[in-house]
Chains A and B, each alone.
Chain A
């Protein structure tokens, strides 16, 4: 069975702190790993990672994938109150049945709260 496990489930820090969110996975036919941010409504896309060791960066957010150890981290530096959200990790795996089809499975999410 596909597994995507995120840790911690909840994190409270002060504005300006740096945080690291973790995502480990066990899937067959792995294709890519994605990070999403969810505030009050729909998840919004942050990063897609397909290769090990290559850091993706967007402003204060960065992420890296380790395909050997089957995990990814999402770093946020100099956190701001606007970073408060649930951060979701998802893994895309190839279908065992239909070529070209991909299954997207999510972890439980990490609820990040940034206090001023």
Chain B
């Protein structure tokens, strides 16, 4: 298995534009997590899914952020409209049996909003 795959690896966009980040979890994993990492706030959990169902989105900063998981092999995180303060590295992670097995991280998407 290739691991958790995220795309794009880097994204530079202008303020106000829509940004879509993509994630393909490890096949067979039933939990998927989206994190945002900044120097100031560390690794923040934005939302997580279990069996494609969003369980807890309390970490999503505001209505500009939305996430979907239409099937077991794909998830998106969308920011619309984007703002400079959204600049961060966004990680996706998946786990086979969270709490019992570790979560595996993708390589992240570095987002810069100018």
Contact = CB atoms under 8 A, between A and B. Distances in A.
Contact of B99 (A45, A92, A106): A92
Interface stretch (B13-21, B45-53, B65-73, B75-83): B45-53
Interface string A38-49: 000111110010
Nearest to A100: B50
Interface of A is mostly: strand
B36 to A, nearest CB: 11
A40 B59 CA distance: 24
A88 interface: yes
Interface of B is mostly: strand
B72 to A, nearest CB: 15
A97 B45 CA distance: 17
Nearest to B103: A104
A8 to B, nearest CB: 14
Contact of B102 (A48, A97, A106): A48
Interface residues of A, number: 27
A34 B101 CA distance: 10
B41 to A, nearest CB: 8
Interface in A49-96: 88, 90, 92-95
B108 interface: yes
A60 B45 CA distance: 30
Contacts of A104: 33, 45, 48, 93, 95, 98, 103
**3 pairs of A and B residues whose beta carbons are closest in the complex:** A102-B98, A31-B99, A101-B50
Given A34-B103, A95-B55, A106-B43, 13 more contacts: A31-B98, A32-B100, A34-B102, A41-B108, A42-B108, A94-B99, A95-B50, A95-B56, A97-B55, A100-B50, A102-B99, A103-B48, A103-B56
Interface of B: 31, 33, 35, 42-45, 48, 50, 53, 55-56, 91, 93, 95, 98-108
